[in-house]
Chain A
Amino acid sequence: MPRGYAGKFLDIDLSKDKIKDTTFDDEILRNYVGGRGLAAKILWDRLGKKWEKVDPLGPENLFLALTGPLTAIHPGARICASGKSPQCNGIIGSTASAEFPSELKCAGYDGVIVSGKAKSPVYILVTDDKAEIMDAKHVWGKEAPETIKILTKEVRGLLEERNPNAGKFKDPGIIYCGPAGENRVRTAAVMMKISHAAGYGGYGAVMGSKNLKAIVAKGRKPLPDVASPGAVRLLWHEVDRQIMRRDRTWPGLWGTGYGGYTVGASSSSEPVRNWQDEWHDEKSFGGPKFDYRYWVKRYWSDFNCSGACMKLAVIKTGPYKGTFTDNPDYELEAYLGPNLGVFDPGECIYLSALVDYLGYSGINGPNTFAFAAELYQRGILTKDDLGFELKWGDVNAFEALARKIVKREGIGDVLAEGTYRAALKISEMKGVDVTKYAVHVKGVEIGAHGTRSGQDIRPAAYACSPQCGDHTSVVSDAYRDMGMVFLDSAVICSFVSGRGLLWDYYRAVTGWDTTQEEWNRTLGHRIIHIQRAALLLGGPDIVWDPAIHDDNPPRYYEPLPSGPYKGQTTDRKTVEEMKQEYYEAIGWDERGIPESEVLKKLGLEDVDKALDRLRK
C-alpha cells in the first residue's frame, strides 16, 4: 500500500443519488500517480470506448477533482480538475491551489469522481470518511464572495451542531463554479477561495452541467502517513530553505504580478489588443504600481506554502472602491489589461475581480472578450450585435460583455461557446471568416505567452501539446517536459517544487522507487499518449485533424508590429520541423498519431485499437 495516499476516492452518481468509495490497484497508482495522470486513466477506462460520443456538458461526462500523494505533504498543495473538456474535447489536467485538497485528504479521500446530473442544484459535503449531497438552490446564481460566505457559515454551523462540545470549527475547503459555470459557459473555471481558478479545460461548465455548485470538505484526520517520516520532515524544511535562499524573490516578493510590465517590455510576448501586438512599454502597468497602491498583503499563501506568491489587492478609492482579489497574477494582468487595451492597474484589478467573481477562467474567458473587441474594431460585430460599443480600454463595456456572456443573452450566447466555436458561428452569421482572429489551439484559448519574439514559448510548443493552449504544460523534447506532467499528477505547485529535492521527496513519501528517468521516459509518456488519443478522437461537435490543427493560431504568423522584435514572427518551417522532431521523440507517426508499437510496449493496447480508425 503506497504511502501519501488517503486510500480511497469518492465515486458519486448525481443522477442516481448514489455515493460509494472506490480504490485503484497499487500498480495503477504507481503508473499514473494521481491528479492529471490518474484522471486520464479513469476517463479513458470509463469513457474511452465511446469517447467521440460523450457530450462534455452532458450527464455522461465525469467531473474529477483529484489530489496526489505529494499534495499537502510537499509544499504547495493543489487540486487537479478534469473530465472530458468542453473546450478541446480531450483531457486536460487543470490545477489550482487551495486548502480544499488538504481538507479532502484529511477527510480520508484522495479525490472525488462525479458522474450524472443532479435534479436540482446541489453541493457535496465531505467530512471524515463520509459524503453527503446537500441542497444548493440557495447558492445557485451567486457570485464568488456570496458563495464562499454562505457555504462557510453553513458548514461551520452544521459541524458545530454535530460536534457540540468540540470548540470552534475552522473554515472548510471549497471548490465551486460561478454563474459562468452554472450557465455552462465553456470558458468557466473550477474556482476555489476568492480568486483561484483551475481554468484550462472549461471544467467549471462541467460542474454547472451537473447542477454541482460546489464540493465542500472538512477533514479532521491527520494527513496520510508517509513511508519515511524523518526524511520527509528534513526535506520539508529543505524545500522551504531553497525558497528563502534568494529572499523569496521568486515566487514570493515579485509573484508573477510584476510580469505585467516585463513580459511585454522585455520578452515582447504579452498579448495586446487580442494579440495584435505583443510589446508595450507602459511603465505604470506592472510591479510597483500594483504593489504600492493596491496590494494590502504582499505575502498571501495557500496550504503548506512559504512561497506566498499571492497578494491581496484592495481598491480603496474611486469608482471601483471595495473591489478585492488576488494580485492579479501575470496571466490576468495581461488578459484583463493590455489584451483589452487596459493599461491602468486599478481597472485591471477591477476586471480581474469581476471575472473571478463570475467564475470565468481568467485566461480563457477574457480571450473571448478581446476577440469580440477586435471584431468590433473591424466593424464585423456592431453596436447592434452587442447592444453597446466595445472599444479597447472601455472597462464598462467589457464588464457589460462579461455579464452578457454569463447570461447567454443575444450574442453572449454565441460568445459563451468559447473563442473558437464563437468564431465558427460568427463566420457563418456574417459570411466572413473570422477564425483568423481567434487565438486558440484546439479550442483552448492560449496563455499570455506568445511565440513570435522567440523569447518565450517555442514555435511548436502549443501546437503538439495535449493540453493545447495551456502555457503551463507545453511540449519540448518528450523528456524534460514530463516534469510538469509529474507535478500535475503528484499535484503540487511548480513554483515551489524544490530543485533536486522533488524525487527524493516523492520516494520518501510514497515508499516507491520511481526515478525521474523512469518518469521522463516511460510513465509520463503513457499519460501523454492517453491525453493525445482522447484529443484526436474528440467529438461530439468537433474532431481535430492534426495536419491542420497541430498548429499555432493564424495571428502567431503575423509579424510583430512594434517593439525590439518588430517584424519577427513564428517561422512556419521551424514549426513544421519541430513538430516532426517532437512526434519522433514522443513516438507518434508523421501525422501525429501515436504509433502502434509504442503504445503496445506501454501496455496501452486499447488506446492503440481506438486509434486504428484514425490511422486509415
Chain B
Amino acid sequence: MKIRVRAFGELMALLGKESTVELRDEARFKDLVFTLAEKTGSAKKGFLGRYNVTGPNLVILLNGRNIHALEKLDTALKDGDVVTLLPPVVGG
C-alpha cells in the first residue's frame, strides 16, 4: 500500500514536505516509523530525527486524527492514508 507522508518543521528537511512510502498490505504505524527512521538516519529505535515517536513533542496525525487517540504505534494503515508529522513549534 502507498502512504502519503507530510512533514513539517525539522522533519521537512529530512523527509521532504511530501513523500510517498510503500508498505506491505497489513502494515501498522510502527512499520511506517521503521521505514521513515531509515530515511531520517535515526540511530535510535522509535525516533524520527531527534523526536521520540511516542514522546510528547512529536504530534502525529493519521488522516487528521492524533494517533494517541487511536491505537498509537499499533494503529492499522490502509492504502491512501495520509500521515502528518508535526514537530514542536516556537513559542510566542
Contact = CB atoms under 8 A, between A and B. Distances in A.
B92 A472 contact: yes
Nearest to A472: B92
Contact of B8 (A448, A458, A495): A458
Interface string A473-489: 00011111000000000
B61 A574 contact: no
A513 B7 CA distance: 37
Nearest to B4: A577
B92 A449 contact: yes
A196 interface: no
A251 B86 CA distance: 22
A584 interface: yes
B61 A477 contact: yes
A541 interface: no
Contact of B66 (A263, A330, A448, A479): A479
B90 A476 contact: no
Interface string B50-92: 0000001001010111101100000000000010101001111
B56 A499 contact: yes
B65 A585 contact: yes
B6 interface: yes
Contact of A250 (B12, B17, B63, B91): B91
B9 interface: yes
A514 interface: no
Contacts of B69: 477, 479, 520-521
Interface string B21-60: 0000000000000000000000000000000000010010
A499 B57 CA distance: 11
A584 B64 CA distance: 8
Q: What is the interface residue range for chain B against chain A?
A: 20 to 34
A480 B92 contact: no
Interface string A165-189: 0000000000000000000000000
Nearest to B61: A477
Of the four ranges (under 10, 10 to 19, 20 to 34, 35 or more), the interface on chain A belongs to: 35 or more
Contact of A449 (B61, B63, B89): B89
A456 interface: yes
A458 B61 CA distance: 12
A501 to B, nearest CB: 13
A581 B63 contact: yes
Given A574-B6, A577-B82, A581-B82, A263 B68 contact: no
Interface string A457-477: 110000000000001100011
B51 to A, nearest CB: 14
Given A454-B17, A455-B12, A256 B61 contact: no
A476 B8 CA distance: 13
A448 B82 contact: no
Contacts of A455: 8-10, 12, 89
B12 A448 contact: no
A447 interface: yes
Interface centre among B8, B10, B92 (most CB of A within 10 A): B92
B61 A476 contact: yes
Nearest to A574: B6
B61 A581 contact: yes
Nearest to A568: B17
B40 to A, nearest CB: 16
Given A458-B8, A458-B86, A479-B68, A259 B63 contact: no
A577 B83 CA distance: 12
Contacts of B17: 454, 571
Nearest to A460: B64
A352 interface: no
Contacts of A267: 89-90
A112 to B, nearest CB: 27
A132 B16 CA distance: 61
Contacts of A479: 65-66, 68-69
A494 to B, nearest CB: 9
Contacts of B84: 578, 581
Interface string A252-273: 0000100100110001010000
A556 interface: no
A267 B61 CA distance: 22
Given A454-B12, A454-B17, A477 B66 contact: yes
A582 interface: yes
A455 B88 CA distance: 9
Contact of A476 (B56, B86, B91): B86
Nearest to B8: A454
Contacts of A581: 61, 63-65, 82, 84
A457 B82 contact: no
Interface string A312-333: 0000000000000000011100
A457 B18 CA distance: 17
Interface of A: 250-251, 256, 259, 262-263, 267, 269, 329-331, 447-449, 454-458, 471-472, 476-480, 495, 499, 520-521, 571, 574, 577-578, 580-582, 584-585
Q: Which 4 A-B pairs have the closest CB atoms?
A: A581-B64, A479-B66, A477-B66, A585-B64
19 contacts: A256-B91, A259-B91, A331-B92, A448-B92, A449-B90, A471-B92, A476-B59, A477-B65, A477-B66, A477-B69, A479-B65, A479-B69, A480-B66, A520-B69, A578-B64, A578-B84, A580-B64, A582-B64, A585-B64
